[in-house]
Chain A
Amino acid sequence: MVNSIDLQSETGETARGDHDVDTLDEVKRIIAKGLRLPIEQLTDDTRLEELGADSLDIIEIVYDLEEKFGISITIKPGESSLLLKPETPGTESMVELGTVADIARVVQSLVEAKSGR
């Protein structure tokens, strides 16, 4: 069971930035679909673990986010025994993913980094 996950871009650069409304909505939609929940059950402050997400749910949601936004997200395994990817150098600073808004913020900054904004 993953209680919290840390995200960073694959270059090891910490992803930060404000999310815009469209991104937030899309992220909510993807999380709701991944957890098979009505989207109304998600607020900006909802934490994934509150929704009962397990490690497979989380990697699938991250995959859907990557597909949707054309970005690449590295998951730090944390407690998950399924994710065996070793820690890569330069991953010291990481954003802890807590809430839906946090996830949207990370996604937004990765999208901006990609487009060079």
Chain B
Amino acid sequence: MNRVVISGIGVVSPVGSSLDEFWTALVEGRSGIGPLTLIPTERLSTRIAAQVGGFDPDAHFSPKQAHLLDRFAQFAVVAARAAVRDAQCEISEELALDAATVVGNGSGGQGTVDAGYLKLYGQNAEKAHPLSIPRWMVNAAASQVSIDLGLRGPTWTVATACASATHAIGQAFHMVRNGQAPIALAGGTEACLTVGTVKAWEALRALSTDTCRPFSRNRSGLVIGEGAAMFLLEPRDRALARGARVYAEVLGFGMSADASDITAADADGGARAMRAALRDARANPEDVDYVNAHGTGTILNDRTESEALRKVFGSHADRLAVSSSKAVLGHSMGAAGALELAAAALALQTQTIPPTANFEEPDPACDIDCVPNVARSARVRMAMSNSFAFGGLNAVIALGRA
């Protein structure tokens, strides 16, 4: 069994697409939530989002490639290239032949879907655009990453809503650990800010109209975000041999299903996924110093997750730092787990715990230390990243110091 490390990280985020900008905003608690300008908002109650501002496809792609890739696939390719660059990893022909590509995504090319249906139903167009399917298919991001980087090993997409990226990275981690792939590019991507998608979220009564305040008693719901993060996972021995800079070691991955409600999370399900990750890491709850929470800023998530943390960590929860990055990044659905794992990895590397931004008022029902508003220098031996998806599908990754 290989020990597996993260040696490259690439992000496309609402607070910048360099790791430096991304991490600085998280540590300073500077929110990427702002006016929703990507789409017309006349028919929406929601006027805010955490959108990736100033993303120019022409800066990254040939006109032909830009035309063929929906925004969600563009994000994934840009993040994947950045991860490889960051790792300074030469991917030889031989390595590429077996390299794995695993990309989490919630809803495919929603921009393409929305524009297509507007024409078809709204404007009575006779035909759909011929590139509709290659642009919107949920596996397009994984395929385009594999095409762009020439990675020809096991490649697939994981779609478990808001846990997609965490499931994707977890499965890639296991493949590299077991020697089924010599390296893996894994992460998640999402670009679902369309009128149709926002309307659908509004109908669920889950969206905030002001901002996202996880674990704060005056929370008002979640804010939709977008972006991507990709990681280069490789065996620790290989990374050390080539003198790579290593962010963190991936120690464990756990999954579970609530098997209860399609939307409301269940504390037992979340707790079982955290325990499974600890078991996979051969670690004890007391070894963990930081948890990057799912922390959506909805009352159901925040309270259930707090309860789940108590179940797993018991009295150690009093010494555990827990923060949500969603006040800064919004909720980027299928990309969330990847962006948040980047935060957890950087917390380990820098021994700094990013805060829960926008925190205003303690919620007695959230009995955790959510690191309100101000980052903290602290000893971080192990960090965990939680993703609890609609549909009751939970995924947790445990990281250790490099």
Contacts and interface: CB of A to CB of B under 8 A. Distances in A.
A60 B130 CA distance: 6
Interface string B123-140: 000110111001000000
Contacts of B242: none
A49 B86 CA distance: 39
A42 interface: no
B116 to A, nearest CB: 12
Interface in A64-113: 66-67
Contacts of A56: 68, 130-131, 134
A67 B125 CA distance: 9
Nearest to B62: A36
6 contacts: A36-B63, A56-B68, A56-B130, A60-B131, A62-B130, A63-B130
A1 interface: no
B64 interface: yes
Contacts of A2: none
A48 to B, nearest CB: 15
Q: From DSSP, what is the main secondary structure of chain B's interface residues? A: loop
Interface in B92-150: 126-127, 129-131, 134
Contacts of B63: 36
Interface residues of B, number: 9
Contacts, number: 17
Interface string A20-64: 000000000000000010000000000000000000100110110
A36 B64 contact: yes
A63 B127 contact: yes
Interface of A: 36, 56, 59-60, 62-63, 66-67
Nearest to B68: A56
Contacts of B126: 66
A66 B127 CA distance: 9
Contacts of B134: 56
Nearest to B125: A67
A59 B64 contact: no
A63 B68 contact: no
Contacts of A66: 126-127
A34 B303 CA distance: 53
Contacts of A63: 127, 129-130
Contacts of A62: 130
Contacts of B131: 56, 60
B253 to A, nearest CB: 36
A59 B127 CA distance: 12
A68 to B, nearest CB: 13
Contacts of B130: 56, 59-60, 62-63
Nearest to A60: B130
B318 to A, nearest CB: 58
